[in-house]
């Protein structure tokens, strides 16, 4: 029998020029009983390649692995629970306070915010004016002690007017804010 083809395949195998199919042919060839003596040295190699693919895990591996998977699942669920609550935290509009729907409070919160803004601006304006007044009065008194009382009174009146203007501005801010709220 002529083994030229097989001999050539063996040579190609060691040169790494065989295809996967040709390598399978070699394994099939060596799996037969009567391999010619001059090729017998390679029989162990190709038979080992076949045999090594039959190496598998023990029977009880699946069972052990499945219990590990289940344990991992339970652990994952435990870890996820608080996360779910955090991520799915109900939006403010759905939360209840003392059992009352928050929609009921919304106008009050808005009104409170408007009042707070108005107060802040008012206080700031008053403060600024007060300071300015004090400064002016101080200056007037200190720099020119002989100034006419009527002049000082005139200055104060002017300040009163500007204070009244400031109040009007505050009122219009409140009006705008209230309008916003209504809208």
Partner 1 sequence: MDFRHNILPLKNIVFRTALRIVLNREEAEDIVQDTLVKLWERREELGKVENLEAFALTMARNLALDRKEKMDNRHVTFDDDVHDRPDENTEGADKMLAHKETTGAIAQIINSLPEKQRTIIQLRDIEGKSYQEIANTLSISESDVKVTLFRARQAMKEKILQKKSFFL
64 binds partner 1 (CB under 8 A): yes
Minimum Å distance from CB 123 to partner 1? 56
What residues between 28 and 47 interact with partner 1 by CB under 8 A?
41-42, 44-45
Tally DSSP H helices, then E strands, for the chain.
6, 0
Q: Which of 55, 53, 52, 72 is nearest to 64 (CA)?
A: 72
Distance CA 16, CA 27 (A): 15
# binding residues, partner 1 (CB under 8 A) = 27
Rg (CA), the chain: 48
From residue 95 to residue 134, the character string flagging contacts with partner 1 as x (rule: CB under 8 A) and all else as - is: ----------------------------------------
49 binds partner 1 (CB under 8 A): yes
Distance CA 147, CA 137 (A): 11
Distance CA 39, CA 7 (A): 8
Structure tokens given for 47? 């038979």
Minimum Å distance from CB 36 to partner 1? 15
What residues between 69 and 88 interact with partner 1 by CB under 8 A?
69, 72, 76
59, 26 Cβ separation under 8 angstroms:
no
Q: Which residues bind partner 1 (CB under 8 A)?
A: 13-16, 20, 23-24, 41-42, 44-45, 48-49, 52-53, 55-58, 61-62, 64-65, 68-69, 72, 76
């Amino acid at each position: 029998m002529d083994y030229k083809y097989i001999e050539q395949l063996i040579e190609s195998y060691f040169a790494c020029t065989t295809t996967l199919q040709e390598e399978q042919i070699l394994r099939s060839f060596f799996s037969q009983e009567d391999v010619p003596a001059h090729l017998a040295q390679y029989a162990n190699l190709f038979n080992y390649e076949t045999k090594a693919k039959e190496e598998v895990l023990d029977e009880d591996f699946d069972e052990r692995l499945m219990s590990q998977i289940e344990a991992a699942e339970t652990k994952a669920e435990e870890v996820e629970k608080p996360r779910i609550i955090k991520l799915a935290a109900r939006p403010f509009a759905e939360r209840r306070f003392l059992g009352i729907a928050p929609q009921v409070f919304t106008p009050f919160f808005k009104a409170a915010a408007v009042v707070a803004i108005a107060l802040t601006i008012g206080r700031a304006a008053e403060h600024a004016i007060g300071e300015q007044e004090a400064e002016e009065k101080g200056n007037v008194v200190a720099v020119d002690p002989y100034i006419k009382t009527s002049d000082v009174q005139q200055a104060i009146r002017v300040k009163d007017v500007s204070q009244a203007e400031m109040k009007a501005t505050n009122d219009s801010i409140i009006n705008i804010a209230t309008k916003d709220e209504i809208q």
